[in-house]
């Protein structure tokens, strides 16, 4: 059972904890399991950008929900110009309407007013901030200003106590008096190990995955809050099916049991407490820095054409043996080199390689929406290499399609009225 989370630490700026190192995805790929859609990386639009020690730490969406306004270095409230035309009518026309919506929402009252542009989707807000910075309108530390200081101080402290203390203690910023500096931070990986939705089973018999390590549930862009329900529903399914298989003696590969894995595991555990067990940085560790420097810039909310080439160069320079960054002496000698970040970065970058139509969460090539919407990008092991190819997207069952019909009918009615 693989439940190791995502790949956040492949990126320099991330909200993820230190253990999100793509271990599970790399292990699964190494034994022949398929990975899918690793190019779908979600950036939360508001993470701390200063000081460096807390870069990427989340700034809750509640700040914008309570009336936080995004401005660039020129003081411009820029989100209005980034609203998608197809959904522009869902957002306020001006600052007065936006302010009325906030006041009604805070008071839990119904209102005909529409929400502020800062409450656009995560990918859209992240792309907007990224664009402002790239075009020279960013803050001193490379982000945007998120300002809620125009509200009464007592209200800010009452509604956003954790944010008040977070900025005061970590950045020496009083958010009741001055704006915060925020920017996109790598937050979640929609791609991962391909699993059966009913059982959590990977494409290798006996292997299961759940949570962020697995893929297929969230499509190209997870909605806020759905990772917890993913764990509760599909984690339960994977655990139950894995337990059934573990209790079936006929399902085990006796050859695996006879490879001395328990003895190898015991040696690994003993070595962790031994001084000098790891002598200097391994090649996989040396890979980590260059790859993290390239992925946030080239594989971020908007990838540039030369990004995959640079990231590939970083990967090739860091080629080393398996999990040598943990314990070099125990890395299986017969196994081809495949450091964990390299597996994740290789799939993510090659799925949007130069010379081909691009597909990613926040960047898509014009005119390729329908084609991209019909496939998953699959990574399979071919000898010692990775092969990335499109594979048909599983069709939605008819009983689920019928659930969406009422909503589609409402949309059609709105279009007629409009």
Q: The tokens of 71 are what?
A: 């401005």
The question of whether 347 is a catalytic residue gets the answer: no
Quickly count: other Cβ atoms within 10 Å of residue 80's Cβ: 19
> Alpha-carbon distance 396 to 399, whole Å?
8
CA–CA distance, 372 with 359 (Å, rounded to integer): 7
Closest CA to 297 of 287, 285, 282, 309: 309
Residue 61, C-beta contacts closer than 8 angstroms, at least 6 positions apart: 46, 224
Active-site option among 44, 222, 310, 321: 44
Cα angle: 314, vertex 127, 178; to 5 degrees: 105
> What is the rounded distance in angstroms from the CA atom of residue 255 to the CA atom of residue 303?
45
Pairing label, strands 375-382, 41-48 = unpaired
Write b or e for each residue in 36-72: b if 16 or more Cβ atoms lie within 10 A of its Cβ, otherwise e: bbbbbbbbbbbbbbbeeeebbbbbebebbbbbbbbbb
Query: Is 257 labeled as catalytic in the residue annotation?
Result: no
Q: For residue 77, how far is the Cα from the chain centroid?
A: 27
Count of C-beta atoms within a 10 Å radius of residue 392:
8
Tell whether omega for the bond before 29 is within 30 degrees of 0, i.e. cis.
Answer: no
138 Cβ contact partners less than 8 Å away, ≥ 6 residues apart: 72, 73, 132, 144, 183
137 close to 77: Cβ distance less than 8 angstroms: no
Q: Looking at 64, 127, 310, 358, which residue is catalytic?
A: 64
Return the number of other C-beta atoms located less than 10 Å from residue 275's C-beta.
4
Burial of residue 367 (CB within 10 Å: 0-12, 13-18, 19+) is exposed
Q: Is 278 helix (H, G, I), strand (E, B) or coil?
A: coil
DSSP state of 52: G
Instruction: For residues 218 and 220, give the distance between their C-alpha atoms in angstroms, rounded to a whole number.
Output: 6
Q: Which residues are catalytic?
A: 44, 64
């Amino acid at each position: 059972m693989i439940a190791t989370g995502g790949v956040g630490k492949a990126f320099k700026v991330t909200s993820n904890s230190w253990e999100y190192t793509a271990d599970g995805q790399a292990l699964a790929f190494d034994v022949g399991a398929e990975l899918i859609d690793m190019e779908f990386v979600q950036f939360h639009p508001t993470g701390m950008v200063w000081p460096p020690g807390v870069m990427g730490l989340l700034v809750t969406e509640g700040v914008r929900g309570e009336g936080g306004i995004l401005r660039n270095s020129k003081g411009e409230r820029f989100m209005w110009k980034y609203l998608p035309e197809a959904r522009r009518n869902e957002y306020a026309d001006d600052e007065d309407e936006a302010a009325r919506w906030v006041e009604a929402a805070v008071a839990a009252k119904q209102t005909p007013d529409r929400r502020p542009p800062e409450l656009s989707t995560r990918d859209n807000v992240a792309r907007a901030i990224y664009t402002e910075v790239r075009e020279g309108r960013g803050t001193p530390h490379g982000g945007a200003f998120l300002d809620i200081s125009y509200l009464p101080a007592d209200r800010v402290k009452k509604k956003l106590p954790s944010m008040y203390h977070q900025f005061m203690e970590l950045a020496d910023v009083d958010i009741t008096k001055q704006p915060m500096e925020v920017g996109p931070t790598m937050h979640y990986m929609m791609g991962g190990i391909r699993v059966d939705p009913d059982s959590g089973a990977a494409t290798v018999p006996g292997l299961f995955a759940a949570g962020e390590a697995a893929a297929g549930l969230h499509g190209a862009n997870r909605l806020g809050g759905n990772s917890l329900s993913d764990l509760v529903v599909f984690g339960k399914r994977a655990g139950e099916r894995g337990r059934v298989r573990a209790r079936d003696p006929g399902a085990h590969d006796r050859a695996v049991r006879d490879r001395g894995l328990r003895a190898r595991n015991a040696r690994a555990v003993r070595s962790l407490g031994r001084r000098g067990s790891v002598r200097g940085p391994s090649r996989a560790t040396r890979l980590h820095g260059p790859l993290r420097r390239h992925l946030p810039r080239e594989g971020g909310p908007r990838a540039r054409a030369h990004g995959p080439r640079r990231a590939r160069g970083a990967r090739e320079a860091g080629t080393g043996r398996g999990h040598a960054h943990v314990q070099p002496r125990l890395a299986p000698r017969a196994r081809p080199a495949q450091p964990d970040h390299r597996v994740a970065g290789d799939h993510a970058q090659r799925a949007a390689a130069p010379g081909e139509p691009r597909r990613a969460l926040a960047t898509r090539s014009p005119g390729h929406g329908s084609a991209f919407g019909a496939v998953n990008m699959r990574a399979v092991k071919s000898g010692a290499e990775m092969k990335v190819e499109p594979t048909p997207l599983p069709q939605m069952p008819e009983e689920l399609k019928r659930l969406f019909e009422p909503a589609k009918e409402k949309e059609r009615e709105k279009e007629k009225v409009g």
